[in-house]
Copies of this chain bind each other. A is one copy, B any other.
Amino acid sequence: VPTPRTALLLAYPGFTALDLFGPQYFLAALPGLSPRVVAYGRAPVPGDGGAVVIPACTFATAPDECEVLLVPGGSLGVVAAMRDRDTLAFLRTRAAKARIVATVCTGALVLGAAGLLRGRRATSHWLVRDAVLPRLGATPVAARLVEDGADLITSGGVTAGLDLGLALVRRLAGEDYARRVALLAEYRPARAPEMGDPEGALPEDVDALKSMFGPLLAQVCEAADNAAATFGPADAEAAGGARQSPHA
């Protein structure tokens, strides 16, 4: 008897709502797939910017297997999530039985803190990618989407979650279906081409954001080092390999 296919979307205090609900829209368009928000307990979870969500299931009640395990990013909330044993344990058990593990923005750092990016190629928000991913044993890649093998897709900052969602639809339902979902979503953004691209941004804008998020980056680096210190000797090789990356 086939069980209903599930996409588990992790919510933790301070998660960025758009990181979760970007992919959620696309996943909800997949026939036979139920996106379900999962959190530590039944209590409402406050995200960034006034968002408060109620989880559909908890770390204890979430199904063991899922099609997609999604980890959204956040700002200060990410530091706490990277240090939370329950969150990391949940990710480890469910990732082992997930068809695809996917992250948006700084969600990659939470997945990485669970030891699940060791030896893998991954991306994250440009503000943290090259500084933090190597500390977690991952090789940073400067790309909006990084598909590493059949079971891992990481994506860049915030809005990259929409491209992730579309990539998941393509992977799970094919190119024709993805094209129709994109049309239903009217996914043909109109922003000016010089905006939003870390590689082509004005240096003063990059500096302003680096300055604004410097304290957060320091906290995230510390949380990453603390997490990596728990990985154990079996993982030294993968972490070492990643440290030799030209990005590191």
Which A positions have Cβ atoms within 8 angstroms of B? 9, 16-18, 20-22, 24-25, 27-28, 34-37, 44, 48-54, 56, 105, 125-126, 144-145, 156-160, 162-163, 166, 178-180, 182-191, 193-198, 201-202, 205-206, 208-209
A196 touches B186 (CB 8 A): yes
Assembled-state Cα–Cα distance A55/B25 (Å): 20
User: How often does this chain occur in the complex, in copies?
Assistant: 2
A185 touches B159 (CB 8 A): yes
- Shortest CB-to-CB span from A6 to chain B, Å, is 10
Residues on B with C-beta less than 8 A from A163 are 189-191
- Shortest CB-to-CB span from A63 to chain B, Å, is 13
Residue from the set A52, A188, A195, A201 with the largest chain B CB neighbour count within 10 Å: A188
A188 touches B197 (CB 8 A): yes
- Shortest CB-to-CB span from A9 to chain B, Å, is 8
B191 touches A205 (CB 8 A): no
B179 touches A195 (CB 8 A): yes
Residue from the set A53, A179, A186, A202 with the largest chain B CB neighbour count within 10 Å: A186
B205 touches A180 (CB 8 A): yes
Partner of A162, one of B34, B37, B48, B189: B189
* 4 nearest A-B residue pairs (beta carbon): A28-B49, A157-B186, A187-B196, A182-B196
B17 touches A25 (CB 8 A): yes
Residue from the set A162, A196, A205 with the largest chain B CB neighbour count within 10 Å: A196
Known: A35-B50, A53-B53, A183-B205. 15 other contacts (CB 8 A): A17-B25, A18-B18, A18-B185, A21-B22, A25-B48, A25-B158, A28-B49, A44-B54, A52-B54, A53-B54, A144-B190, A159-B188, A182-B191, A182-B196, A187-B189
